[in-house]
Amino acid sequence: MQISFPQPVLRVALPVPLRQFFDYLAIDNDINPQPGMRVQVDFGRRKMIGVIVDVVDKSDLPLEKLSSVIAYPDEGQTVLSEETLELLKWCWRYYKHAPGEVVFNALPPLLRKIGGSIPPPPMQYSLTVTGKERLNEPPGRIKAQFRLLEEIRSGAVTGSQLRLVSSSWRKTLARLMEQQWVASEARKAARLDPTKGPQLLDEQQLALEGISKTLGKFHSHLLDGVTGSGKTEVYLRLLERVLKQGGQALLLVPEIGLTPQLLSRFKKRLGFEPVVTHSGLSEGLRLKAWAMAKSGLARLVIGTRSALFLPMPDLQMIILDEEHDASFKQQDGFRYSSRDVAVKRAAGLGVPVVLGTATPSLETFNNAANGRYSWHRLRQRATGAAEPRWRVLDLIQQTMTAGISSTAMKSIGETLAKGEQALIFLNRRGYAPVILCHECGWYAACQRCDAHMTWHKATRKLLCHHCDSGARVPEMCPDCGADALQAAGEGTEQLEQILGTAFPETPLLRFDRDTVRKKGEFDRLSEQVKAGESCLLVGTQMLAKGHHFPQVTLVVIVNLDQALYSADFRALERMGQLMVQVAGRAGRDQLPGVVILQTHYPQHEVLHTLLSSGYEAFASEVSVERQLTCLPPFSYQALLRSDAHEKEEVRAFLNQAKQCFPAGDAMVYGPFPAMMERRSGRTRWYLLVQAGSRAPLHRQLDEWVPQLKSLPAARKVRWAVDVDPQDY
């Protein structure tokens, strides 16, 4: 029964893992509560920040059970616009996730906490007439003030520019304003001041026109361009158009794609500094970027996944670069695909969205193939460089040194002798993935995961790459005591050692998470590569992304064979993407490139298609297989994931959950153990829900998920729903 209330009832989202909202009474003051405003409330014994999602006039709870909110920390301002709230509403319904967590995911961290507040609008400063006159006189005793005046005269207008003069700039500035030597006003948006780019190639021009035609309405575009085909150049032209007509634009890039090179290219071409945001920034800077976006001062925001939810009142275009990249899917907590939510956001706003890549995900590929997305192909490299040539080495016929065949070694030598660069790709860091005893067969396994410990020789450590547990490398076999421990397989650290011995004169740069820890380190290394001297690059997939190394003329792919026969149906797709991306690093300039692929399966059909006919043919072939086996994107999936210390608890929960799965077109399968059943000491299993179309899947999930928390076994496990899962 619902009864009416004297005060408005505020339906509030709180950052708790519960699938519900919480009702509070408005307080009687001059603030008119609205959806999107923050509130401070009592929750149990804690005080918390919440966000109003709805204002209603009744509650399911009786009046005496409702408490009033404590305060509205932002006075009358909202932190979520109607548009963002609508998008978030779609998110929590679609992803079946606790709505409070979905809402809070969209806020900068400082606004999630008590004490954080919306920063005042940024100001800009200018000299007054008397200020200019003061500069004509000698500084006298006011040296600090004088310096700041001079700085403003020479063009510093914002707080962040003045901060460079002195850390006490605020105090000094306050004096200058008291004297009326300096005036302040609200900061204006940066002016677009583009420099001319190159003459576009026909394919680029066509893509630009095709996409521009849809400005002002919702439309999805796939910009499918081989590496170096000038996709970024097309983005720049699009952004110019959007910004020129007063719009804001959002460019999302993968986690590793946000490099100083990219930013300086945008700055140089557009003539102003884009606002950048990603989860590695300090909370203060993230809040600042958020406020700039919200006020419209940020005309262009470049950011990673989390930037998708920034408030942008004039947003007119969303671009997602490297749309196939796995970092666009958030893999824990609120699991969502920023690619799919970006398309949803564009639809809600009625603006175009551009997905760019050389290797479309099969989801996007099929959306383009069936005409839902416009498909713009760029098949020529913009610099006129030829596509790299593939050479397949059958490992059966090769002698090997630490994973590198003698033929590959010879080619590396020849490349270096010509003064060129070679890139050796192996997607495994450390010295060796396994350390084992040749007497008794013991090997170092992680105690907490179903995984080998990776041997890191330089640091004399065994490390689990899944849970980060570490141990010392034993001297002798811990099982039989024999002095017979050996490496099995190889990682980048070992390649570095072998290649360093083989080519002692050549500088060798290793790119992996062990050598590139700090920000900036990647850029330092890649600057060295770009300087153009002959060198060897050894690295993991870190090398496959974004960077152009014009002097690299040889790429050796050491081993990707596991993917050919993996239990994960997406492994083949990912392998194809990785191969094409790595190969794309080679020969981007005038020098032709060669890519050597070492494999035990040179006859593998799909691999053959990829090498002989390219990614599009490969993707079509993989699609046919998916279609025949009814796998995504030709079916729709969701997982109910669960983990606990004990396997029996997980299985009991999933079995109970399966029992109450509602009847319909979507079917439930399992329970199955996760691909890595034990991880970080927990046993992980899942149920798979699959349907031929989306509607029944969602209908049944909506009926099912709310029941799960009251299952008897639910208290003993952790569980989560993953809609459109990417891993298993």
Identity of the residue, 231 or 299, whose beta carbon is nearer to ligand ADP in the bound complex: 231
**Among positions 48, 449, 499, 687, the unique one binding Zn ion when judged by CB under 5 A:** 449
CB of 477 to Zn ion, least distance (A): 3
Type of residue at 355: L
Identity of the residue, 451 or 591, whose beta carbon is nearer to Zn ion in the bound complex: 451
**Among positions 229, 338, 421, 637, the unique one binding ligand ADP when judged by CB under 6 A:** 229
| Tokens coding 367 | 């959306």
Provide the total of helices (H) and of strands (E) in the chain, helices listed first.
20, 30
CA-nearest of 427, 433, 416 to 502 is 416
Identity of the residue, 175 or 466, whose beta carbon is nearer to Zn ion in the bound complex: 466
- Under the criterion CB under 5 A, does residue 439 sit at the interface with Zn ion? yes
Residue 231 interacting partner from Zn ion, ligand ADP, none (CB closer than 5 to 8 Å by kind): ligand ADP
CB of 481 to Zn ion, least distance (A): 7
Identity of the residue, 382 or 542, whose beta carbon is nearer to ligand ADP in the bound complex: 382
- Under the criterion CB under 6 A, does residue 201 sit at the interface with ligand ADP? yes
CA-nearest of 25, 59, 60 to 42 is 25
Q: What are the b/e assignments for 132-165, b being 16+ CB within 10 Å?
A: eebbeeeeeeeebbbebbebbeeebbebeebeeb
CB atoms within 10 A of CB 39: 25
CA-nearest of 544, 531, 420, 385 to 412 is 420
Between the alpha carbon of residue 338 and those of residues 254, 379, 716, the distances in Å are 10, 26, 31
DSSP class per residue in 100-112: HHHHHHTS-GGGG
d(CA 118, CA 77): 9
- Under the criterion CB under 6 A, does residue 383 sit at the interface with ligand ADP? yes
CA-nearest of 202, 268, 258 to 236 is 268
CA-nearest of 251, 226, 206 to 376 is 206
> Angle 144-147-150 (CA atoms, 0-180°, nearest 5)?
155
Binding window for ligand ADP (CB under 6 A); candidates: 192-200, 483-491, 622-630, 650-658:
192-200
- Under the criterion CB under 6 A, does residue 200 sit at the interface with ligand ADP? yes
Alpha helices, H only, 259-337:
260-270, 283-295
CB of 437 to Zn ion, least distance (A): 3
CB of 381 to ligand ADP, least distance (A): 7
Q: Please, which of residues 468-487 interact with Zn ion by CB under 5 A? A: 469, 477, 479-480, 482
Identity of the residue, 413 or 474, whose beta carbon is nearer to Zn ion in the bound complex: 474
Identity of the residue, 233 or 573, whose beta carbon is nearer to ligand ADP in the bound complex: 233
**Among positions 53, 238, 243, 446, the unique one binding Zn ion when judged by CB under 5 A:** 446
- Under the criterion CB under 5 A, does residue 464 sit at the interface with Zn ion? yes
- Under the criterion CB under 6 A, does residue 228 sit at the interface with ligand ADP? yes
CB atoms within 10 A of CB 121: 12
- Helix 406-417 crosses helix 492-502 at what angle (to 10 degrees)? 60
- Under the criterion CB under 6 A, does residue 551 sit at the interface with ligand ADP? no
| Tokens coding 512 | 């992996």
- Under the criterion CB under 6 A, does residue 233 sit at the interface with ligand ADP? yes
Binding window for ligand ADP (CB under 6 A); candidates: 196-204, 322-330, 365-373, 658-666:
196-204
**Among positions 78, 172, 227, 361, the unique one binding ligand ADP when judged by CB under 6 A:** 227
CB of 229 to ligand ADP, least distance (A): 4
Q: Please, which of residues 83-112 interact with Zn ion by CB under 5 A? A: none
Identity of the residue, 233 or 490, whose beta carbon is nearer to ligand ADP in the bound complex: 233
Identity of the residue, 233 or 722, whose beta carbon is nearer to ligand ADP in the bound complex: 233
DSSP 337: B
Enumerate binding residues for ligand ADP (CB under 6 A). Answer: 198-201, 204, 225, 227-233, 382-383
Contact residues for Zn ion, defined by CB under 5 A:
437, 439-440, 442, 446, 448-449, 464, 466-467, 469, 477, 479-480, 482
